[in-house]
Structure 1
């Protein structure tokens, strides 16, 4: 857990951020793994999430984004789950 969050993803779940990541997901049309594409895109947009963080997040996320009606809703659901997990990391770092 090497993540040192300098930004809060919930503040970045603006429509422009979601649209950007949704476009990335659409560009990866051969990939059925939306969660992996979103994780990679979030990491690329972040200056504080590195590869070990992405791998740990991938193993920890429990998101049923397929219940969402649209791809945008799937992306938003996954980003919210990432943000919630990172918030837990921040709380553990503060408590340590």
Structure 2
């Protein structure tokens, strides 16, 4: 994790921008890596997620979004996985 201030990371992407990120993902080609597109959009909307965080999230993210039946559902699953991972980071940082 990169070093940031004491702000709560999981609060940085709420409320969840599922609708707007879904629009971004739909605008890309079918071959677009949806997880990467969502991470990119979330990072662009956040003041506290830096590039090293995005790279670490990408390596840690385990979102089973392939079973989702709509693009919006896929985006929501990925955002929920990001939220869960960031909440874990918050807890670990609070212990340090």
TM-score (norm 1): 0.87
> Which runs of 5 or more residues in structure 1 are unaligned?
none
Q: Distance in 1 between matches of 2:74 and 2:66?
A: 7
* Structure 2 residue 74 is the aligned partner of structure 1 residue 81: no
Does structure 1 conserve the Cα–Cα contact (< 8 Å) formed by 2:57 and 2:85?
Answer: yes
Provide, for residues 10-36 of structure 1, a one-character-per-residue CA deviation record: whole Å limited to 9, x for no partner.
Answer: x412xxx21100111112225431000
Q: Distance in 2 between matches of 1:31 and 1:51?
A: 23
Does structure 2 conserve the Cα–Cα contact (< 8 Å) formed by 1:6 and 1:48?
Answer: no
Does structure 1 conserve the Cα–Cα contact (< 8 Å) formed by 2:36 and 2:58?
Answer: yes
TM-score (norm 2): 0.87
> Which runs of 5 or more residues in structure 2 are unaligned?
none
Q: Distance in 1 between matches of 2:83 and 2:45?
A: 13
* More helix as a share of residues: 1
* Structure 2 residue 7 is the aligned partner of structure 1 residue 12: no
1:66 Cα deviation from its structure 2 partner: 1.0
Name the count of aligned residue pairs: 92
Q: Distance in 1 between matches of 2:33 and 2:62?
A: 13
